[in-house]
Every structure is written in structure tokens, then in C-alpha cells.
Amino acid sequence: MNTLICKPGKLLALLGLLAFLTGCQHLSAIRIEQDRPGDLGTLMGNREYGRAEQLLIQHPYLDTPETRTEINERVNAYETAVLSDARARESANDLYGANELLTEALMKLPNSPRFNEYKCRLDAERAERLRENERRELLSDAEYFVAQQEIYKEHLSLDTPSLLQRWKNKLSQQQAQDLAVRLLACGEETLQEDDMEMADKCLHYAQAIKDTPEVQTALSQLESRRATQHQSDDNKIRVIQVKEEKRLARKHRDKTHEVLEKTEQALDKNDLPAARRIFRELPKGGSESREVVAVRTRLNDAIRSRVREMTGEGDRLYRADNVSRAIRSWEQALELDPRSLELTERLERARKVLARLEELKSRQRMPAKQSKQGT
């Protein structure tokens, strides 16, 4: 029996040929022989930090503070540069390029938490995007098939289809079986993901292509899920409404308390105009509390008392021919009781009297002025 014997030189050549034939682009990952202490500089120069770390573990005397500091600085700079490049590619929507970059970087630094965390997130995003594209492609195929079937049916009503048309239609019908199965699977999957819109499209296309009991069951589940979701949405809306009602009630209560407190302070200072103005800021709506009724009663009593007092004072001044001061007193009273017809009539009469008095004084001044001019 012949024995195949490979010399070391031939073995290296065969390994190199194997790497070339298999299309391996990362030749640095092919370990022909064990790394040696003298390779540390080369490994760091090639950014093979994972292998450099292993070399330090195997040869502890190499693991000096200076070497460790240099490796840490280079690793940090390498991670920062790679992640910056990866983020730029991701921003340009080149997720494949970003993933390839991280894959290559992880071959050099496999234990990097920053690389692994970023790649994990990137892989999840790529998987989600790929799944979305597959579903969009599936819906596109379904839409095309349904449109072709409508065209074929219309052609049947117009003319006899050719042999080629019949063959294409038969082939389409065969492919439709697989398409309907994939659409049903997509509908069931997206239904579990609560993607009602996608589930509705997939299941209705599946029904249009081939209506089966499985499709009907899935459509029933879809409608049931929608009804449950609507009920849940209604409950959420009601919860939000109740919260808003409580918030408004609390705001109304706080504002009422503030207005009543300020009104009583103004009443204590005997500042009735301010008390009346502040009390008008009382929020509208809701039933009046005993506190509101009590403050209103106190305010109204104080205003009636002050109006009687100012009206009486104005009457005394008017009878004493002090019309101007009487008008000021009645005006103050009217400010507190704007609807008083008695005060309005008094003011109108007094203003007319005051106007006649001013007119008489003006006429009396005219002759004196003329006599001075004549002199």
C-alpha cells in the first residue's frame, strides 16, 4: 500500500492553495503554527489584538505595564475608529457594509464588548429589515398573481387563449399553491406580532388565491383580535379621560381655594373693589361648595353695606350743594353695584346740575372779562 507523505514545504503550499480556492479573505486568521513571543510586535502592527492577548497569557513575562498600556491604548483607538466607520455606513443605510466591517474587526478583537454589543443590535436591525423586505416581496408577488389572473379571466371572455397563455396560466396555478401557503404563514406570524395591517393583507391575498379552512380560521382570529384591540383602545381612552377629568377637577379645586383665600384677604383689608374683582376669577362649572357660598354671602353683605353708606354720603353732600363730591361718592358706590338704577339716576341728575352750574359760572365770568377789556 502506498503512503502519502507530505513534506513541510508542500504542506504549507497546500494550505495556501486551500485558502485561495475557498476564497478566504482573512489569511491572518489561518493559524499555520503557534504564535511566538517574537511575533507580538507584528500582531499589534496587524491589529491582531486577540492573538496578542493570548500571547501575553501564554508568556506572562511579556505582560509588562508598558505593554499592557500600549495594547489598551491601541485597542481603544481601534474600537473607536471601527465604530465610527460602522456608524457612518449605518447612517448611509449600508447595514451590510457595517456588518462586514464589524465581522472583520471581531476576528481581530473577538472579546470586545463594544463590538459585540453594536453587532448584536445591528444584526437584530438587519434581521428585522430583511423580514420586512421578504414580506413586501411576498405581497408584491401576490398582487402580481391576482392581477394576472384577472387579466387571464378577462381574456377568456374575449378570445380563446393561446397554447402559450394556457401554459403560463397552468404554471402560475402551480406556483399559486406555494404562494398561498406562504401568505397564510405570513398572516399567522404577523397576527401573533399584533401587526394587524400586514396580517390583513396577507390573509386576504391568501383567500383570493386559494380560500381554505385554515385561511378562514386565521381571518376569524384576525377579526377577534381586532375586536379585542378596539375594546382595549376604548378602555385606554376611558382611562385617559378619567385621568383628565380628575386633573381638571383638582385644578378647579385648587383655583377655587386660591380665589376664595385672596377674596377673604381683600375683605379683611376692607378693599371691596379688589375683593369683587378677585371673586369674579372664580372658575366656572361644578356645584358650589359651602365655602364659596359663605364667601359670596360675606362679599355681597359687605358690598350692600358699603353701597348704602356711599349712597347716603352722596345724598348728604348733594343736599349741601357739594355736587362734585356727591358725584364721586355715588360713582364709588356704582362701581360696587353697577346694576343700581337709583345710583345711575342720581349721577345723571347730578351731572346735569353740575353742567348747568359750570355754564352759569362761565356766563358770569364773561361780563367781568368784557369790562376789564373796556377799561
DSSP 202: H
The CATH T-level fold of domain 244-363 is 1.25.40
Look up residue 194 and give its amino acid: D
**What is the pLDDT, as a whole number, of residue 21?**
40
Cα 227 from Cα 240, distance rounded (Å): 20
What is the reported pLDDT for 96? 93
Percentages of the chain per state (helix, strand, coil), in multiples of 5 = 85, 0, 15
Asked whether the beta carbons of 146 and 208 are under 8 A apart, the reply is: yes
Rounded distance between C-alpha atoms, residue 280 and residue 208, angstroms:
67
H-type alpha helices, 157-212: 163-192, 196-209
Of 308, 305, 272, the C-alpha closest to 316 is 308
Q: Where are the alpha helices (DSSP H) in the chain?
A: 8-21, 40-45, 49-58, 65-91, 95-108, 113-156, 163-192, 196-209, 213-268, 272-279, 290-319, 323-336, 341-374
pLDDT in tens, 49-98: 999 989 999 999 998 999 999 999 999 999 999 999 999 999 999 999 99
Q: What does each of the 375 residues of the chain score in pLDDT, given as a tens digit?
A: 343 333 444 433 444 444 344 343 443 444 545 889 889 999 989 999 999 989 999 999 998 999 999 999 999 999 999 999 999 999 999 999 999 999 999 999 999 999 999 999 999 999 999 999 999 999 999 999 999 888 888 888 888 888 888 888 888 888 888 999 999 999 999 999 999 999 999 999 999 999 999 999 999 999 999 898 888 888 889 999 999 989 998 999 999 999 999 999 999 998 988 998 999 899 887 677 899 999 999 999 999 999 999 999 999 998 988 988 999 999 989 888 888 899 999 899 999 888 888 888 887 776 655 555 555
Note the Cα 328 to chain centre separation in Å. Answer: 60
Count the residues in the chain. 375
At residue 221, the pLDDT reads 94
Q: Is the separation of the CB atoms in 143 and 205 below 8 Å? A: yes
Judge contact between 21 and 13, C-beta under 8 A. Answer: no
What one-letter code names the amino acid at 198?
M
Q: What pLDDT score was predicted for residue 33?
A: 58
Beta carbons within 10 angstroms of residue 243's beta carbon = 10
- 141: number of Cβ within 10 Å: 16
Which cell goes with 252?
378647579
Instruction: Tally the C-alpha atoms within 13 A of residue 203's C-alpha that lie toward its C-beta.
Output: 22
Identity of residue 212: T
Please tell me the pTM assigned to this model: 0.52
